[in-house]
Structure 1
Amino acid sequence: MRTTVKTAAVTLAAACALLLSGCGGSGGSDASGPGSGSGPAADVSTAPSQPGTLLDTPFNKPQLHLTDNQGKPFDLVKQTAGHPVLLFFGYTHCPDVCPTTMSDIALAKSKLPAADQAKLQVVFVTTDPDRDTPARLTEWLGAMDKSFIGLTGDFTTIQNAARSVGVGIAPPVKEKDGSITVTHGAEVLAFWPKDDKAHVLYMSGTTAQQYAHDLPKLIRSEAP
Structure 2
Amino acid sequence: MRTTIKTGAVALAAACALLLTGCGGSSGGSGSAQGAGSLADVSGADTKPGTVLDTPFAKPQLRLTDNHGKPFDLVKQTAGRPTLLFFGYTHCPDVCPTTMSDLALAKARLPQADQDKLRVVFVTSDPQRDTPARLTEWLGAMDKSFIGLTGDFTPIQAAARSVGVGIEAPVKEKDGSITVTHGAEVLAFWPKDDKGHVLYMSGTTAEEFAHDLPKIIRSEAP
Mark yes or no: TM-score above 0.5. Answer: yes
The one-letter amino acid paired with 1:69 is N
Report the counterpart of residue 51 of structure 2 in structure 1: 53
Counterpart-to-counterpart distance in 2, 1:119 and 1:199: 17
Question: Structure 1 residue 204 and structure 2 residue 199: aligned?
Answer: no
Output one character per residue of 1:3-46: Cα deviation in whole Å (capped at 9) or x when no partner: 33443264346xxx9786675xxxxxx3334664259xxxxxxx
Output one character per residue of 1:65-102: Cα deviation in whole Å (capped at 9) or x when no partner: 00000000000000000000000000000000000000
Give the TM-score normalised by structure 1. 0.86
Question: Structure 1 residue 31 and structure 2 residue 25: aligned?
Answer: yes
Higher strand share: 1
- The alpha-carbon deviation at position 2 of structure 1 amounts to 2.3
Between the aligned residues of both structures, percent identity stands at: 82
Aligned CA distance change for structure 1 residues 79 and 18 (closer, same or farther; 3 Å): farther
Aligned positions of 1:3-42 closer than 5 A: 3-8=3-8, 10-12=10-12, 23=23, 30-33=24-27, 36-37=31-32
Say which of 109, 120, 123 aligns to 1:122: 120
Aligned positions of 1:17-166 closer than 5 A: 23=23, 30-33=24-27, 36-37=31-32, 50-166=48-164
SS of match in other structure, 2:84: strand
Report the counterpart of residue 43 of structure 2 in structure 1: none
Aligned CA distance change for structure 1 residues 78 and 21 (closer, same or farther; 3 Å): farther
SS of match in other structure, 1:214: helix
Aligned CA distance change for structure 1 residues 10 and 86 (closer, same or farther; 3 Å): closer
Over the aligned positions, Cα root-mean-square deviation in angstroms equals: 2.1
SS of match in other structure, 2:114: helix
Q: Contact between 1:20 and 1:37, CA under 8 Å: does it hold in 2?
A: no
SS of match in other structure, 2:156: helix
Output one character per residue of 1:179-198: Cα deviation in whole Å (capped at 9) or x when no partner: 10100010000000000000
Aligned CA distance change for structure 1 residues 153 and 6 (closer, same or farther; 3 Å): closer
Unaligned runs of 5+ in 1: 24-29, 40-47
Report the counterpart of residue 2 of structure 1 in structure 2: 2
Counterpart-to-counterpart distance in 2, 1:133 and 1:75: 17
Q: Contact between 2:9 and 2:32, CA under 8 Å: does it hold in 1?
A: no
Unaligned runs of 5+ in 2: 38-45
The one-letter amino acid paired with 2:78 is T
Q: Contact between 2:3 and 2:178, CA under 8 Å: does it hold in 1?
A: no
Give the TM-score normalised by structure 2. 0.87
Moved more, 175-184 or 3-12: 3-12
Report the counterpart of residue 42 of structure 2 in structure 1: none
Aligned residues: 207
Output one character per residue of 1:124-182: Cα deviation in whole Å (capped at 9) or x when no partner: 00000000000000000000000000000000010000111011000000111111010
